[in-house]
């Protein structure tokens, strides 16, 4: 790959990644993540792995799209609503991340030229089909199990629906009682009588 293209994409990826973890608003973070994932997919494709590039682009965005659809249509708007962007332990987190970064850089410096030199002579389809079919099968099983697991975790069960209905009914009852009390007090005030709140005062 051309070094200039690599450096441009690398700069874009690093900037977008930093924006993803640093943006205050989740909307901005999502936009930055989309940019980062797209840039990584382009880099992967330019490096010579088009199938991985397509997967790298499609899978996270498919996931994010499904999540966004659920949040918007399923009544979970508050989940992505305004919240504190940064946790309490941000300095500890920064320290741990810096330690990991230092560890990786140290490993890279000490490994010098001892990198694995790959080839890229065979296509990924060939590898998955003839050399490592088990990898493809395991990936498919993993994807199926993951989707099934997420549906199992995220579903709304009968017991949960019943509990929600009970809670909603209680909330409606309390609101009705409160409204009646306020109506009574308003009526008494109109008649010139002393309300219980005023009597207590």
Partner 1 sequence: MSVGPGHYAALSAIVFTLGIYGVLTRSNLVGVLMALILLFAAPVIALVGFTHTGMGGSQPPLGDAFALFAVVGSGVEGAVGIAIALLVWRRTGSSDVDELVEVEG
Distance in angstroms between the alpha carbons of the first and the last residue of the chain: 81
Report the distance separating Cα 163 and Cα 157, nearest Å.
Answer: 10
**Residue 40: other Cβ atoms inside 10 A:** 19
Compute the least distance from the CB of residue 176 to partner 1, in Å. Answer: 22
**Contact by Cβ (8 Å): 19, 32:** yes
Compute the least distance from the CB of residue 104 to partner 1, in Å. Answer: 4
Nearer to partner 1, 109 or 199 (CB): 109
Nearer to partner 1, 83 or 201 (CB): 83
Compute the least distance from the CB of residue 178 to partner 1, in Å. Answer: 21
Radius of gyration, CA atoms only, the chain = 28
Report the distance separating Cα 115 and Cα 121, nearest Å.
Answer: 18
Compute the least distance from the CB of residue 128 to partner 1, in Å. Answer: 6
Nearer to partner 1, 146 or 196 (CB): 146
Structure tokens at 144: 């199926």
Report the distance separating Cα 27 and Cα 7, nearest Å.
Answer: 27
Nearer to partner 1, 71 or 188 (CB): 71
Report the distance separating Cα 137 and Cα 134, nearest Å.
Answer: 5
Compute the least distance from the CB of residue 170 to partner 1, in Å. Answer: 15
Nearer to partner 1, 97 or 166 (CB): 97
């Amino acid at each position: 790959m051309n070094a200039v293209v690599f450096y441009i994409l690398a700069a874009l990826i690093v900037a977008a990644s930093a924006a993803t973890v640093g943006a205050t608003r989740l909307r901005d973070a999502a936009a930055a993540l989309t940019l980062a994932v797209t840039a990584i997919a382009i880099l992967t494709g330019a490096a010579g792995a088009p199938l991985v590039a397509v997967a790298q682009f499609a899978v996270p965005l498919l996931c994010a799209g499904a999540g966004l659809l659920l949040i918007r249509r399923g009544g979970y708007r508050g989940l992505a609503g305004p919240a504190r962007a940064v946790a309490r332990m941000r300095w500890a987190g920064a320290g741990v991340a810096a330690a990991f970064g230092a560890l990786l850089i140290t490993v890279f410096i000490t490994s010098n030229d001892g990198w694995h030199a790959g080839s890229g002579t065979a296509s990924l389809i060939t590898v998955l089909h003839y050399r490592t079919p088990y990898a493809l099968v395991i990936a498919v099983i993993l994807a199926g199990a993951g989707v099934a697991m997420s549906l199992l975790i995220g579903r709304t069960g009968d017991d949960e629906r019943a509990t929600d209905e009970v809670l909603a009914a209680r909330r409606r009852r309390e609101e009705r009682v409160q409204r009646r009390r306020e109506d009574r007090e308003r009526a008494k005030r109109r008649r010139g009588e002393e309300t219980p709140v005023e009597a207590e005062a």
